[in-house]
Amino acid sequence: MTSVSLTVNGKAVTADVEPRTLLVQFLREGQRLTGTHVGCDTSQCGACVVHLDGEAVKACTTLAVQCDGRTVTTIEGLAAPGGTLHPMQAAFREHHGLQCGYCTPGMIMTAVDLVRRKGHHLDEATIRHELEGNICRCTGYHNIVKAIAAGAEAMAAEPVREAAE
């Protein structure tokens, strides 16, 4: 067992884990944060996307021990304290960007990362290209694309990381 200390959704967490423990297992089983889903085991579907130090990663191919000393944000940590939805969450609801909801957390976390990287004015081609690592079987992506474009505009208050990089 190896000890890891990290910040999860703003809360300091220390735990002993088997070295082979994946971040998604650590979150789902250890922290009971079941909003992060497993859909494919091969890093294709993106249902498991979370933010590691503010950047999107697939939690099914990240080891928990890799996150030692770092900050993880999951879908449960995206809304403001008090429950005000993140603009991207609100946009998914407003534009019917989800049906069964299973891919949704990963889609939203990917979308937030996308806006941070590419800015608030995203054209359709960019959004579709950037969703290469997220699979949805329900929506045909049509409303996800609309939701992300609207959510990006609504995130205008957030800084764009690319400018700093």
Count the residues of the shown chain that bind other proteins, applying the rule CB under 8 A.
54
Q: How far are the Cα atoms of 41, 74, 88, 103 from residue 153, in angstroms, in the given order?
A: 33, 22, 9, 22
Minimum distance, C-beta of residue 67 to other proteins, in the bound complex (Å): 18
Check if the beta carbon of residue 141 is closer than 8 Å to that of residue 131.
Answer: yes
Site residues (CB under 8 A) for other proteins, limited to 5-34: 28, 33-34
Minimum distance, C-beta of residue 116 to other proteins, in the bound complex (Å): 18
Minimum distance, C-beta of residue 39 to other proteins, in the bound complex (Å): 4
> How far from chain centre, in Å, is Cα 47?
8
The strand pairing partners of 72, in sequence order, are 8, 52
Site residues (CB under 8 A) for other proteins, limited to 122-151: 124, 127-129, 131-132, 134-146
3-state DSSP assignment of residue 77: helix
Side chain identity at 165, as an amino acid letter?
Answer: E
Binding site for other proteins (CB under 8 A): 28, 33-42, 44-45, 47, 74-76, 78-79, 85, 89-90, 92-94, 96, 98-105, 108, 124, 127-129, 131-132, 134-146
